[in-house]
Structure 1
Amino acid sequence: MKFAFSFFLVFLFLSTSTFSQEVLENKVPKRIYTTKKLTKTPIIDGDVFDEAWNVVEWSSDFTEKDPDEGTPPAFQTLFKVIYDSKYLYIAIRALDDQPSLIQQRLSRRDGFVGDRVNVSIDSYHDKRTAFVFTTTAAGVKGEEIVTQNGQNWDDSWNPIWYTDAKVDDKGWTAEMKIPFSQLRFGNAKEQIWGFNINRTIFRLQEKSLWQRIPNSQSGSISEAGELHGLIDLVPQKQLEIQPFTVLQYDRYPAEAGNPFRDGSDFKINGGLDAKIGITNDLTLDLTINPDFGQVEADPGAIALDGFQIFFKEQRPFFVENKNIFDFEFANGRDNLFYSRRIGRNPHRRANLSTGEYSKEPINSTILGAAKFSGKTQNGWSIGLLESVTSNEYTEIREVNGKTRKEIVEPLTNFIVTRAQKDFNKRNSFIGGIFTATNRNLDGNFSELHKAAYTGGLDFQHNWKNREFYFQGNVILSHVLGSKEAITETQQTLRHNFGRVDAGHVSIDPNKTSLTGTGGRIEIGKQGGGNWRYDGGFIWRSPELELNDVGFLRQTDEMIQFFNLKYLWQVPTEIYRDIDLSLEQNSTYDFDGNHNSSEYKLEGKVNWINNWWTELGFGHKPVNYENAYLRGGPRWRSPERNYVYFYFGSDKSKKMSFTLGYVDSKTKESVRDFKKYIFRMDYQPFDALSVSLNTEFEKVIDKSQYVDEADYNSVKRYVLGTIDNQSLSTTLRLNYSLNPNFSIQLYGQPYISRGRYSDFKVVNNSTASSFNERVSMYNQNEISLTNDIYNVDVNLDGNIDYTFNKQDFSFVQLRANLVARWEYIPGSELFFVWARGGVTFDDPRTSLTNSLRNQITSNKLEDTFLIKATYRFVK
């Protein structure tokens, strides 16, 4: 570890001393557009020649951003901006000598396809945050909130505004009408906002900007132009109330004798969402009894390593403004706030006797939730979220016909608070987060934490025109519970305190709390010239625990990392741009063990014909896993080499595709992995788009963990060779009658099949050779009876221990058909048909036959749902 850390410091010093000598490009002067108050109100129909627009002049002189930065675009763009007391109006004139080739592709809201313009408004003028409004040539609208100076784009924001577009003989035109109530700004005699317009000519894959931003410049919001002339604006407080009603009918195969599964269910539900502007900067979002029936189902997945799978949040209330509450403290998915903990599936299932049936709740009921969030003009980002989930019960029908209830999830309160403050002319910020989870256990649920608290501090400093940065965070967690609960936490795979050869942790059965730390420190160069690099250090202490309202996959890690990148940003006759990167990392545990080292070289090329290629090579010479044997000794995985290759066609064409291949091989062929990827997007005409994503994986692993057993008071760890094949296909079909009415079909069959053979037992888990790490069972030692393997170690005819046959074939089908109609801005009707099912097929069956059996032979479950919302706006 000392060597790796010293290498990192030397490399960082050399990189800084060498590359910081690069000559800074001349900073591009800020452009200013001065608007005026209107005298007449324009009609928003896409026609920009209304007399109302004549109060100001057209502005133009756009500069190409991509592919040939700094040059004139193929066709110029013009715009005007006017305003009144409540609205900002923007007119766009997108010139094009070949209007018949303009791509008017229809899609759902936030589709972002076809020719389009993006208007970026930094009304905070904090040079880090912007509201982006998009109109396509087909009149489809889209919106995003941009944070972290252009590094984070969130399309979950859905404000109420108005737009339309038209194509004519000189190109296409668009009009926008944006309520000031949807923006955030402070009090001032004259508002000065950051402002930019980005136009995309889809068939050329060309982007141009009103305010030029060189590709070498880090960040985009800080480099935008400025909008002046907004005089005596009165901040508009937002008030929106959106009640909803849901009618749902479920149909499923009836279960004989089960009164809770008679073949169908019908229910009516209702709730309320509200958005209240407390100030012009800060908004209160409320939801009572939320319904997420129209939300797309999670993709199929199965984990053989025992760790939890991360699923993306898709529920609208939690998705909107998620960037404010985000606190990703390390790498990957680890975060202090993982909103899917709220409304999760209950921790317990019913305790049933023979002949009893139960009605199990799928999710915990969210009684209500509130978010108070926003950003003030003086640089404060503030977020407060509170949610309460109810006591959840399962209803049990006893043999005598009576019913009883058992509690399966306790009443739980979740609180998340987040704050950040910008300073140093918006070049720096410091922030913090605090989360609390409190459960009303009421003498029950001794296996759960009674309370869990986390806190964190984060900071970032940018200098030298934001080219260089230094950032980091540190977090602290504290969980409280019974001895049983804390012991169970210590035993989980992510903590693994019971590992037999651990010298720094052990299970303490008397503990009633656990306190841990984690964090990340990073320094690097993110802009200017052609070089980019960063390096840093991450740690997660063994006692760190976040999973009550956060996401934490594994603890007991210290990671050193360094990344170096060189960019070719000037197009040639062959390519548009090239990105070549080198990555290195090393991992240690808190006992001082060197667990892994990895090196990766990657290149990405965008060719001049808009095709692209990605190629990468990796080498992992050191690879030990503390949790591999589930409490057993540290396991040495073999040296690994891998390669991946992707290439794709021009995305501006009606049909485009991506092909991918991943191949990973290990020393002694202990674990070989192959993955094949095919993706296709097809838009036969403007109203219809089809996408297909198919992935096939094949793993042959001679060291797959199977089970543990006791033999003569000694733990034995059983491994096997697994042939694991997985196939998934995701189909999406979108048909749009107009920008406000669309039909979407989604379907995903998924299958993962594993067959085990060649069982063996671990005898020296860290030996250099795989044959020294394990010993194979001979055919006389092991036998199979009724799906149970019997092991006779000393061949005396007595069974010494057993383990279950692990072969599996998991098959899942998820599909839904959603019709969405936004009948007035902000108010919607959803018509949903969802079909799906999960089964375990015979592992001896082929993948294709298992999929066919699931789709055609098994009886699936259907849900029919109608959801109506109406948004009252003041």
Structure 2
Amino acid sequence: MLKFFHILLIISISFSNSIFDQSCYQAQDEMINDKEPFYDQKKDKCYVSHYIIERPIIDGILDESVWGDFDITNIDNYIHSFIQEEPNNMSSPIFDTLVKIIHDDENIYVAARLFDTNPDSVKSVLSRKDDWDRAFSDQADWFSIEFDSKHDHQSGYLFAVNAAGIQSDAVSFFDSDYDIEYNAVWDSNVSKDDYGWIVEMAIPFKMLNITQIENPWGLNIHRYIHRYNEYSSWSAMERGTPGIASQFGHIFGFKDYDVNRFLGIKPYTLLGFDKVENVILVDDQLFKDSLNYIESFDDSDFPFGLDAKLRLSQSSYLDLTINPDFGQVEMDPEYINLSFYEIYLPEKRTFFNESISMFELPIEVFYSRRIGSGNDSLDSKINYALKYIGSSESGWNLGSIVAETSEQNTTKKYFINRISKDIFNGNSIVGFLATNMFDGHRSYSSASFDNVFYFSNNLIFDYQYVKSINDKINGNAHNLNFEYDSPYPLTFLFDMESYDKNFDINKVGYNERNNIKKYKVSIGIKNTKPHLDLFRKFRWDLSYRYSENFENLNLSDTYSLIGKYYLKNYTKFSIGYILEKEHYDDFYMYDYELADNGPAFLIPESNRWLIRISTDTKKDLFCSFSYASSSSVLKDKMKESTLDVSAKLNNSSYLRFTFEQIGFNSSIDFLETVESDEDSSINHYIFSNTTGWNNRYSISYEKYFKKNISIKLFSEYFIHKNEFGEYKEWDSNINSLTETSFINGNNEYLPLYTEGSVAPQYSLIDGDIEIEQYLNPNYYSGFYPRYSNVNFNLSFKWEYDSNSEFYIVLRTSKSVNGKIFKDIGRMLSYNSEDSWTEKYFDNSIYFKLNHWFEF
């Protein structure tokens, strides 16, 4: 009987889809402002959720009377008018989808029947929760629903379920991006039958930030069919139209609900140890065989912690973490950084990731990795962290983070406060953010004002001003952005940044450098419906970047042309050319050991070509390859390549291999600053003709035994080699590099560096060591001339109950500074004590158990 109804449904919708469309009644239409984004495109996208008394069982089987029969006899009770967004933009979907939404005091209930003529071809993939790239995206059949419970056209909540029953949730922000770290507790189930597959969901009101007490909310619903790469939505737009929440239709009826206060706590216990064994040179300049053996053992002397969430109202909540442990978080890649510029590392800790989008601004006043990051590369202990998020019906948004860390004899307190106001019907924002860190002696603060204005959803203007205050030293920064984007051919962007000499937010925030003014202009042309059948879409961007410091010294003068093509077979490739004109680098002569900077250095003109290609990621085997080649007028060269291969062994196990290589030769490689023995006010800036390369190999394996049991393995092998030679000194008189007697020696003085691996001669004068030479840079461990590192990470996770997990985490790392090896086997077995060589070992294993309690 159901099959008969399905046939009639297809005929009815094909004959006259508009007859049964969810159109807005006059009373509903009056609640929707005609100045709302995309009003003309979505003014007929309305749906009413009805209140129910008896809640359904979330089992993926729609046998309760509240759902009805999901047939054509009452089609007005269902959302059905879906439209393709990809691959055939604005066309009818291949298969029909029916959705019904109801609610009671506590939950929103969603049921969807996703028709499919070949249910066995529905792609089911296992993964851990929230692994969008692995189990959603273009990797499986899935269904999702989004609510804008503030109806601000800027934010929303997404709840997705794939055909294997794996969940993912996220929040959207700024109408442009998703925060996948949002972690709600909700229920869902799926099933398959002869007519396709079914999704059933229960989403608690208390998981949403609700300020729109009266009607309406924003609503959108999506379906993805893997084998056809078909992505369809209830409220769809032309390809290339910017926006997320601004494109939502509307849902009415959410009046009869009660979001009471609730408390959820997740205590954890941790058992395990971390053992560090390092073999360090007593003096890395003088004694090639004298070693120190340094060991430390940490067995978690306080192996307990607590995470808690307190819902204060329907639009505010508190998160608390006490003595948090993030041992299950994946390790950072290995890097060697001897430059002035700090490496930016992504945040992987859930507490700081969740809802962090509220604090994200163009000038990154709050960089959450600062909390728990200690001095001298030692992590500090986080005693506690508290986060408050709240909103009001009138459009005010408030966020606050308070944290305390301890490291050796230092305690640091962090305070981050954010307030913003939605204006112009929620299409624009003005805000203020303040940060402070107090280390017991000094206070480091910043204050930021920002605004974002959206005009017709394709013209964006935003501005941010920040003042930093560090020990009574004030600095200022500005960021101005003007951007035009639409489905139509032309795009435009203008960006300006300015950071004065005293601007410093790096105790709490992140700023690559100060004393700089940056400008960028970009013009793009795109085609979302090419005439050539080979392409699905393409775009070209022509950009110009210029920067200077506050002494008007040219620091960057760059032109670039980048093209991106998307083929019908889902292959993607890009090609580009970058011309970097002659300019200065005012931190090129930065000595990381002395933490001292020299004069600005003139960088010659260079050219760079790049290409990247990636195959269809829906295939069981897919890969991407990128290659870039740079050359300067001095014949210096750099080549970079990356190969990434992924294999789906089956629907529950995956293998990935990545290889990255960088090779270069530079005749102007800055090495170090050497102070003159005769006059301490004179510095000698030493350069080298350097040839070097980095190789990085990584492999990962994931296995999912059930929806709630999985194991992940990751290993990386990193090799770095530099060969230094033909040393020269920078001559300030001619602004050039020359050979000098200071480097090469003369009848009175020895050469600056020793030959081969010979240690410098030294003498004791009044108890102080005096040396006549420096160690050959090719043997000095401070320059990492030869460096090898291998690390391994194993993570076992069992989600034995809702939002409750058991982890086993094993980590091991070994580094050798002073040698490279022919293969990883020799590196792993290496245990010798060679000249000018250091070894670093770090091994840990932990067992972690947590459990979610809700009151």
Asked whether the equivalents of residues 764 and 774 of structure 1 are also in contact (C-alpha less than 8 Å), the reply is no
Indicate the residue corresponding to 1:666 in structure 2: 632
Equivalent of 1:35 in 40, 49, 53:
49
- Deviation, 1:259, is 11
With over 3 angstroms needed to count, the CA separation of the structure-2 counterparts of 1:765 and 1:378, relative to structure 1, is farther
**In 2, are the aligned partners of 1:587 and 1:594 still within 8 Å (CA)?**
yes
Query: Hey, what's the Cα distance between the residues in 2 that align with 1:601 and 1:521?
Result: 23
- Aligned residue for 1:158? 183
Select 2:369's aligned residue among 330, 340, 344: 340
Q: Deviations over 1:204-233 (max 9, x none)?
A: 222110111222432121111111122322
Q: Which deviates the most, 681-690 or 211-220?
A: 211-220
Match for residue 452 of structure 1 among 438, 444, 448: 444
Out of 591, 594, 610, which is 2:554 matched to?
A: 594
The question of 1:230 aligning with 2:254 is answered yes
Tell me how far apart the structure 1 counterparts of residues 300 and 461 of structure 2 sit (CA, whole Å): 56
Q: Does 1:278 align with 2:255?
A: no
> Any conservation in 1 of the 2:277–2:293 contact (CA below 8 Å)?
no
What is the 5 A alignment of 1:62-461? 62-112=82-132, 113=135, 114-149=140-175, 151-186=176-211, 188=213, 190-250=214-274, 261=295, 265=299, 267=301, 269-329=303-363, 335-347=364-376, 362-390=378-406, 392-393=407-408, 407=409, 410-441=410-441, 450-461=442-453
* Inter-partner Cα distance in structure 2 for 1:263 and 1:710: 40
SS at match of 2:375: coil
SS of residue paired to 1:668: coil
Amino acid at match of 1:704: D
SS at match of 1:278: strand
- 173-182 vs 163-172, which deviates more? 163-172
Name whichever of 368-377 and 823-832 sits farther off: 368-377
For 2:238 and 2:481, the matched residues in 1 are separated by: 25
Task: Specify the code of the residue in structure 2 equivalent to 1:157.
Answer: Y
Task: Give the drift of 1:252.
Answer: 5.9
Q: Distance in 2 between matches of 1:30 and 1:813?
A: 58
1:128 alignment partner, SS class: coil
Deviation of residue 828 (structure 1)?
A: 1.0
CA contact under 8 A between 1:634 and 1:766: conserved in structure 2?
Answer: no
Supply the AA of the counterpart residue of 1:47: I
Change (3 A) 1:578 1:255: closer
Cα pair 2:211 2:391 within 8 Å, conserved: no
- Cα deviation for residue 324 of structure 1 reads 1.2
**Cα deviation, residue 377, structure 1:** 3.0
For the structure 1 residues 472 and 313, does the alpha-carbon distance in structure 2 shift closer, same or farther, using more than 3 Å as the test?
A: same
Partner in structure 2 of residue 6 of structure 1: none
Shift of 1:832: 1.4
State the distance in 2 between where 1:531 and 1:310 align.
Answer: 32
Q: Displacement, 1:117? A: 1.3
In the alignment, the residues of structure 2 paired with residue 140 and residue 176 of structure 1 have an alpha-carbon distance, to the nearest angstrom, of 12
Q: Which moved more, 1:634-643 or 1:109-118?
A: 109-118
Measure, in 1, the Cα distance between the counterparts of 2:405 and 2:298: 27
Match of 1:716 in 2: 684
CA distance in 2, matches of 1:676, 1:255: 34
Instruction: Letter of the 1:749 partner, please give it.
Output: Y
Aligned partner of 2:640 in structure 1 is 675
What are the equivalent positions in structure 2 for 1:432-831 lying under 5 Å apart? 432-441=432-441, 450-463=442-455, 465-480=456-471, 513-570=472-529, 572-630=532-590, 631-670=597-636, 672-711=637-676, 713=679, 714-764=682-732, 772-775=736-739, 782=751, 784-785=754-755, 786=757, 802=774, 805=777, 806=783, 808-831=785-808
Name the SS for the 1:175 alignment partner.
strand
* Alpha-carbon distance, 1:861 to partner: 3.9
Alignment of 1:858-873 (within 5 A): 858=831, 860-873=841-854
Separation (CA, whole Å) in 1 of partners of 2:784 and 2:430: 51
The Cα of 1:27 is off from its aligned counterpart by 3.7
Paired amino acid for 1:378: S
Taking the aligned partners of 2:112 and 2:106, their CA distance within structure 1 comes to 20
Instruction: For structure 2, list consecutive stretches of 5 or more residues without a partner in the other structure.
Output: 1-37, 281-290, 591-596, 762-769, 778-782, 832-839
Once the two structures are TM-superposed, the CA of residue 161 in structure 1 deviates from its matched residue by 0.4
Determine if contact 1:187/1:235 at 8 Å carries over to the other structure. no
For the 8 Å contact 2:109–2:203, the answer to whether it is kept is: yes
Check 1:98–1:88 CA distance in 2 against 1; reply closer, same or farther (3 A cut).
same
Shift of 1:784: 1.7
Distance 1:253 1:718, change over 3 A: closer
Check 1:44–1:423 CA distance in 2 against 1; reply closer, same or farther (3 A cut).
Answer: same
1:314 partner amino acid: K
The answer for the alignment partner of 2:285 in structure 1 is: none
Q: Secondary structure at the residue paired with 1:554?
A: coil
CA RMSD of superposed structures (Å): 2.7
The separation in 2 between residues aligned to 1:258 and 1:629, in whole angstroms, is: 32
The code of the aligned residue for 1:345 comes to G
Given that 2:808 and 2:846 are in contact with CA atoms closer than 8 Å, whether structure 1 keeps it comes out as: yes
CA drift of 1:52 comes to 2.9
Measure the CA separation in 2 of the matches of 1:575 and 1:74: 21
C-alpha deviations, 1:679-735, integer Å up to 9, x for none? 112112111112222211112122111112244533221000222211112222211
- Per-residue displacement from partner, 1:89-147 (whole Å, max 9, x unpaired)? 11112222232222111111112321111211111111110000010011000010110
Take 1:421 and 1:739, find their aligned partners in 2: how far apart are those partners? 41
User: CA–CA distance in 1 between the matches of 2:854 and 2:39?
Assistant: 48
- Distance in 2 (alpha carbons) for counterparts of 1:755 and 1:255: 24
Amino acid at match of 2:412: T
The structural deviation recorded for 1:475 is 0.5
Cα 1:456/1:252, change in 2 over 3 Å: closer
The answer on whether the counterparts of 2:155 and 2:171 sit within 8 Å (CA) in structure 1 is yes
State how far apart, in whole Å, the 2-side matches of 1:456 and 1:606 are. Answer: 39
* Mean Cα deviation higher: 103-112 or 257-266: 257-266
Contact 1:204 1:652 in 2 (8 A): no
For 1:368, the aligned partner's letter is Y
For this pair of structures, how many residues does the alignment match? 759
TM (norm. structure 2) is: 0.84
Q: Identify if the C-alpha distance between structure 1 residues 583 and 776 changes in structure 2 by more than 3 Å, giving closer, same or farther.
A: farther
Aligned to 2:19: none
Which structure 1 segments of 5+ residues have no match? 1-23, 330-334, 349-361, 394-406, 442-449, 481-512, 791-797
